[in-house]
Amino acid sequence: MKVKTNNFVVNPEIEARLYFKMFQIISNASQWKTVIEETLKTIGENLPWQIVSYWEAVPNSEFLKRHSQWQVSKLDSNRILDFQIFSRDIELKKNATPPGEIWEENRSRWTKDVAMSKPFCKKPFGIKEDSFSGYSVPILVEDEIIGVFGFFSSTHQKRLDKNIAPLLVNIVGQLGQLKKRLDKEKELILAKEEAVKANKSKSEFLCQMSHELRTPLNAIIGFSQILMKSKNPVLDSRFKLDVKTIMDSGQHLLLLINEILDLSRIESGKLFVSISPIDLKEILSEIILSIQPLLKSSNIIYIDSFSNLDQVFILADKIRLKQVVLNLIANAIKYNVPKGSISLNYELQEDNYIRINVKDTGTGIPKNIQGRIFDPFQRGEAEDSGIEGTGMGLPVSKRLVELMDGDIGFSSVENEGSCFFIDLPKARELAGDQKNRGCNQFLFEEKEIMSNQNEVLKILYIEDNYINLTLVQRVVEMDGRIDFYFANDGNKGLESAQVNKPDLILLDINLPGINGFEVLKKLKENQKTNRIPVVAISANAMVEDIDRAKEAGFEEYYTKPIKVSTLLNIFNQYKELKAKI
């Protein structure tokens, strides 16, 4: 069979079409395999080749292995069909075949008679009839050959058209660049995945650590509070001072743990803010009211500079905004000078943001640490000054403000004072009823629940930790009007709930045997117990734990260490509820 010689001339129109298609392939590229397959097809369909192959170098070996191949839908001789099948499965050794030689020589090459070259000549198709030609081009990524392209005609060509070689070399060169980019992207994706994984383990570790630390802290702070409140004459004032030191150290440690937890939650994307319009004047007034004892004890004067300002609404998370402003005020007081002053105001910025300023007349921030104070644990000279702190307040504040779409910054002059600012988006004015709802809700969250001493409350506490149990028992004794039952595992707790019918169940989550969630489920399934309110008291402080507990049907979720005053408030709240029923 004689095959008609192809016309191997490439005109500018074919060239332009090929470049345009290659441009499309490269700009949409995400998978190397797809790129190769599409390239082979595009080249094969636009140039007079019958087979187009790509062999890839097997890493750390002397072999090329076929990666992909394209051939015309109907090969015009059996001989080239044989070649196609044979070359599909063969592993080509470096230097032993045309592609292998190209790999070794690192240059493109025109082979007039492919079938006569090793190892193809050993095959019958190499000897039969007239032969066929091929052009091979190595592909380089950063000076290293990663594979070889082979373009085969079904006929014997004397020479290659002068336009084809540069065209193919150019295309393969662009593919080399693309491979480099895809490899880099893959590296980045892998690095990102690793970082996400590491961050997840970090936050899981922190959660675990906080669990471990909160449990003993619960005992340290709780028992010191009980001793402080004790009227026992044996505990003289000096002794109480020691107890206060224990309590303060416990509180300090707790603050640090909470701030580290906050930071890790924010960084792992697990802390969510709930943005709503907030009456700024109202919230600042509440903050100022709450810091009166601190101002008094530190002898710092507060200069009112916002009462006369217009009412504005900003978009923020109320609780988190309060946390940030309180932190800035606490710093303004802490790093002030004796008889110094602080002031608080707000102003409208040009970009429709409201700037809240917290100004002090304190020591100022030395220039050399100004660039670092938003980094964790950076305390500058405060570290040796005896002023208490963790170096975590500003980093947490910065991340919280950014979560609320805001900005935080400062200006400071040493020995004159500092002014910290928070910029937050201004909200549109609210209708009257919305305003009130927001305000009442806030007041409700803050208000101390009045004690209802007449009502007796039956409480069941299911807890396996002896110290926690004793602590709650002591608080129950302080209240004086509570029937207290306890159980140290879930099953006993379920039994006690049925028999004693408590008004409230306090339930630990990490119980031996059946855990708190299962206990709750069983309580809810039983007609005798399904109406009893259940409050979770757990050392797990991650947002997911709290969300899961709320979803499961707990009335409230408190994290350990739980304050004595919080416990007393819970008791009073349920006494009030009982009185209403």
Q: Minimal distance in Å, beta carbon 373 to ligand ADP? A: 4
Q: How far apart are the first and last CA of the chain?
A: 103
Give the CB-nearest residue to ligand ADP: 389
User: Taking contact as CB under 6 A, which single stretch among the options 131-139, 146-154, 277-285, 387-395 is the one that binds ligand ADP?
Assistant: 387-395
Q: Minimal distance in Å, beta carbon 257 to ligand ADP? A: 14
The DSSP bridge partners found for residue 141 are 144
Q: At what angle do helices 432-446 and 280-290 cross, to 10 degrees?
A: 20
Q: Minimal distance in Å, beta carbon 360 to ligand ADP? A: 5
User: Taking contact as CB under 6 A, which single stretch among the options 271-279, 371-379, 504-512, 542-550 is the one that binds ligand ADP?
Assistant: 371-379
> Cα–Cα distance between 300 and 278 in angstroms, integer?
28
User: Taking contact as CB under 6 A, which single stretch among the options 100-108, 186-194, 377-385, 507-515 is the one that binds ligand ADP?
Assistant: 377-385
| Subset of residues 166 to 185 that bind ligand ADP, contact rule: CB under 6 A | none
Which residue in the set 390, 465, 468, 573 belongs to the binding site for ligand ADP (CB under 6 A)? 390
Q: Which is nearer to ligand ADP, 44 or 391 (CB)?
A: 391
Burial degree of 536 (CB within 10 A; 0-12, 13-18, 19+): buried
- Sign (positive/negative) of CA torsion 250, 252, 256, 258? positive
Dihedral-angle region of residue 332 (phi above 0 means left; psi in -120 to 50 means alpha; beta otherwise): alpha
The answer to the question of residue 313 lying near ligand ADP (CB under 6 A) is no
Q: Which is nearer to ligand ADP, 92 or 382 (CB)?
A: 382
Cβ atoms of residues 151 and 165 within 8 Å: no
> Cα–Cα distance between 304 and 341 in angstroms, integer?
10
Dihedral-angle region of residue 352 (phi above 0 means left; psi in -120 to 50 means alpha; beta otherwise): left
Q: Which is nearer to ligand ADP, 90 or 333 (CB)?
A: 333
Residue type, 465: N
The answer to the question of residue 393 lying near ligand ADP (CB under 6 A) is yes
The answer to the question of residue 380 lying near ligand ADP (CB under 6 A) is yes
User: Taking contact as CB under 6 A, which single stretch among the options 95-103, 361-369, 493-501, 515-523 is the one that binds ligand ADP?
Assistant: 361-369
Which residue in the set 253, 329, 382, 497 belongs to the binding site for ligand ADP (CB under 6 A)? 382
The answer to the question of residue 394 lying near ligand ADP (CB under 6 A) is yes
The DSSP bridge partners found for residue 483 are 458
Beta strands in 340-415 (DSSP E): 341-348, 353-360, 407-413
User: Taking contact as CB under 6 A, which single stretch among the options 40-48, 220-228, 362-370, 440-448 is the one that binds ligand ADP?
Assistant: 362-370
User: Taking contact as CB under 6 A, which single stretch among the options 46-54, 160-168, 226-234, 388-396 is the one that binds ligand ADP?
Assistant: 388-396
Q: What secondary structure letter does DSSP report for 43?
A: H
Site string for ligand ADP, 515-534 (x = CB under 6 A): --------------------
Q: Minimal distance in Å, beta carbon 397 to ligand ADP? A: 7
Residue type, 6: N
Token pair belonging to 561: 């260490």
With vertex at residue 310, the alpha carbon angle to CA 304 and CA 313, rounded to the nearest 5 degrees, is 105
Burial degree of 378 (CB within 10 A; 0-12, 13-18, 19+): middle
Total site size for ligand ADP, rule CB under 6 A: 20
Q: Which is nearer to ligand ADP, 329 or 564 (CB)?
A: 329
> Cα–Cα distance between 17 and 167 in angstroms, integer?
12
The answer to the question of residue 133 lying near ligand ADP (CB under 6 A) is no
Q: Which is nearer to ligand ADP, 380 or 533 (CB)?
A: 380
User: Taking contact as CB under 6 A, which single stretch among the options 19-27, 213-221, 345-353, 355-363 is the one that binds ligand ADP?
Assistant: 355-363
Cβ atoms of residues 277 and 427 within 8 Å: yes
Q: Minimal distance in Å, beta carbon 362 to ligand ADP? A: 5
Beta strands at 341-348 and 134-141: parallel, antiparallel or unpaired: unpaired
The answer to the question of residue 365 lying near ligand ADP (CB under 6 A) is yes
Which residue in the set 82, 262, 279, 360 belongs to the binding site for ligand ADP (CB under 6 A)? 360
Which residue in the set 150, 340, 389, 406 belongs to the binding site for ligand ADP (CB under 6 A)? 389
The answer to the question of residue 363 lying near ligand ADP (CB under 6 A) is yes
Cβ atoms of residues 217 and 561 within 8 Å: yes
Which residue in the set 42, 69, 331, 573 belongs to the binding site for ligand ADP (CB under 6 A)? 331
> Cα–Cα distance between 17 and 135 in angstroms, integer?
21
Within a 13 Å sphere around the CA of 199, how many CA atoms are in the beta-carbon half?
14
> Cα–Cα distance between 123 and 112 in angstroms, integer?
17
Dihedral-angle region of residue 312 (phi above 0 means left; psi in -120 to 50 means alpha; beta otherwise): beta
The answer to the question of residue 418 lying near ligand ADP (CB under 6 A) is yes
> Cα–Cα distance between 148 and 139 in angstroms, integer?
6
Which residue in the set 55, 335, 558, 571 belongs to the binding site for ligand ADP (CB under 6 A)? 335
Cβ atoms of residues 157 and 5 within 8 Å: yes
The answer to the question of residue 373 lying near ligand ADP (CB under 6 A) is yes
Question: Which stretches of 447-563 are DSSP H helices?
Answer: 466-479, 490-500, 516-525, 543-552
Which residue in the set 80, 300, 329, 332 belongs to the binding site for ligand ADP (CB under 6 A)? 332
The answer to the question of residue 357 lying near ligand ADP (CB under 6 A) is no
With vertex at residue 178, the alpha carbon angle to CA 175 and CA 179, rounded to the nearest 5 degrees, is 90
Q: Minimal distance in Å, beta carbon 410 to ligand ADP? A: 8
The answer to the question of residue 136 lying near ligand ADP (CB under 6 A) is no
Q: Which is nearer to ligand ADP, 13 or 384 (CB)?
A: 384
User: Taking contact as CB under 6 A, which single stretch among the options 50-58, 201-209, 225-233, 328-336 is the one that binds ligand ADP?
Assistant: 328-336
Q: Which is nearer to ligand ADP, 246 or 419 (CB)?
A: 419
Return residues touching ligand ADP (CB under 6 A): 331-332, 335, 360, 362-365, 373, 378-380, 382, 389-394, 418
